Structure 1
Amino acid sequence: MPGMKNNRLAYMIRTGVLEDAEAVLDVQNSVISEGEYFIAVSEEFNKTPEQQRDWIRRLLENERETIIVAEMNEEVVGWIAFQAENRKRMFHKGSFGVMIRKNFRGMGIGKELIEELLDWAEANPLIEKVSLGVFSTNHRAISLYKRLGFVEEGRKIKEFKMGESEYIDDIIMYKMV
């Protein structure tokens, strides 16, 4: 599905493939290195391209999971992955994570990735609830999620310790599809 912002920058949204593993990993490393909105810090994250391919393979082989990428000029600039719960009583739901390279934010790519994921989830008879967790300081993302129909389900107070005496809440949001 092609996307466009201001009729200038065209990008494509598509289902990820195994060959995207290194590019997806590169985007993830880039976002983690910013140190702002991701749980892991760079020194904790050491996934190899082979491990990334295995992760993507598992997502694509599970009918309740997916990975969707945003590509611009044949470069993966963002992605969203939906991972389902495996317990029988939580089989109807899953959660997603989304990552966009810093230079490509604000173009509508994240919004389109989430909309594409929601379309996929609505078409999947096994998925009823889409969830996510977001740092309480990520106001831009929270605003986007609310515009797309997500509501706050709960909050984990001081879930993340960012520094000596700096904590951030984890806001849990969901949308029924």
Structure 2
Amino acid sequence: MELTGEFEFGHEDRSRIYDHVERHGSIDPKRLRKALDIDPRGFGHHVAILKRDGVVEEVDGELRIAFEDADEEEFRADGVDCTIRQARQEDLTGLVGAIRDVAEEGTYIEAETVADVIDHEEVLLRHNELESRIFFVATVNDDVVGWVHLDVPEVGKLAHTAELTVGVLDEYRGRGIGNRLLDRGVDWADENGYEKIYNSIPATNQTAVDFLESNEWETEAVREDHYKVDGRYVDEVMLARRL
């Protein structure tokens, strides 16, 4: 399912099913039917239509939102076998841990905020009337070692933009994984019709600024003393790339 911003399902119960799955990330169909108090025959009919239309899917016995899943990319990165793929709900714990590890130095506040949100909501992928978000992860031996995340407002005047965060665990940097993750995020935004992606980074994280600038991002603005890290005021560097 591509992100379109359209949420008309032709029947109130189908809308209720979608909304419940979207809020919970992944849920057993029996629990969902009981929670919504829909008769079994009608519930089965509506779920079948949502599956047919590519809106929801059933994985390991649970329903989840069916984003269009790009092919997995497997490659060898400086002696390490790595896979880049779309994140799944079961990646949540590992993904939160990876983001927090990258952000703990206090040099990636936006990523830290993303980790706080998904940890609180316990849902990775979102697609509703207000927002959409998607993650791709880099894994080594099924462990998350990096990510790229895009958060998309569904508000009309901002719907052409997407906020991106990207990061790789320290021990896996310098192997080209970050570049591949960034490319995956940029390609996804371009394929889905977004015109501009942006990222905000503390000025103290010059490595991240250099990394984005080397990938055709440009500094659009600097907000002085926007962050306060360990008692010190730090400027925010706002970077963007037009697609």
* Map of 2:109 onto structure 1: 39
Match of 1:18 in 2: 89
Instruction: Compare the two structures and name the one with the higher strand fraction.
Output: 1
- Give the 3 Å change call, closer, same or farther, for CA 124–168 of structure 1 in structure 2: same
Alignment of 1:49-68 (within 5 A): 51-52=121-122, 54=123, 56-58=124-126, 65-68=133-136
Asked if residue 151 in structure 1 is aligned to residue 230 in structure 2, the reply is no
Aligned pair in 2 of structure 1 residues 168, 116: CA closer, same or farther (>3 Å)? Answer: same
Could you tell me how far 1:86 is from its partner in structure 2? 2.9
The one-letter code matched in structure 2 to 1:24 is L
* SS across alignment from 1:10: strand
Q: In structure 1, what residue type is equivalent to 2:218?
A: V
Mind listing any 5+ residue stretches in structure 2 that lack a counterpart?
1-72
2:239 match: 173
Q: Provide structure 1 residue ranges, at least 5 long, that are not aligned to the other structure.
A: none
Task: Give the superposition deviation at 1:48.
Answer: 7.7
Specify whether residues 117 and 62 from structure 1 end up closer, same or farther in structure 2 by C-alpha distance, changes over 3 A only.
Answer: farther
Aligned to 1:78: 146
8 Å CA contact retained: 1:64, 1:124: no
2:174 is equivalent to residue 106 of structure 1: yes
**In 2, distance between residues paired with 1:46 and 1:92?**
25
Q: How many residues align?
A: 168
| 2:77 is aligned with 1:5 | yes
C-alpha separation between the residues in 2 aligned to 1:112 and 1:90? Answer: 27
Whether the 8 Å contact between 1:60 and 1:67 is mirrored in structure 2 is no
Partner of 2:185: 117
Shift of 1:15: 0.6
Q: CA deviation at 1:27?
A: 1.1
Q: Closer, same or farther in 2 for the Cα pair 1:80/1:9, shift >3 Å?
A: same
Q: Is the 8 A contact 1:60 1:66 kept in 2?
A: no
TM-score, normalised by the number of residues in structure 2: 0.62
SS at match of 2:204: coil
TM-score, normalization: structure 1? 0.83
Structure 2 CA distance for aligned equivalents of residues 2 and 154 of structure 1: 36
Structure 1 letter corresponding to 2:211: L
Contact 2:89/2:125 (CA < 8 Å) preserved in 1?
Answer: yes
In the alignment, the residues of structure 2 paired with residue 121 and residue 104 of structure 1 have an alpha-carbon distance, to the nearest angstrom, of 25
Bigger-Rg structure (1/2):
2
Q: Distance in 1 between matches of 2:136 and 2:207?
A: 21
Change (3 A) 1:48 1:82: closer
CA gap 1:61/1:12 in 2 versus in 1, 3 angstroms: farther
Post-superposition Cα deviations, 1:95-140, rounded to whole Å, max 9, x if no partner, equal 0112322222222211111111111111112x11111001111111
2-side partners of 1:132 and 1:36: how far apart?
A: 16
- Alpha carbons 2:108, 2:205 under 8 Å: kept: no
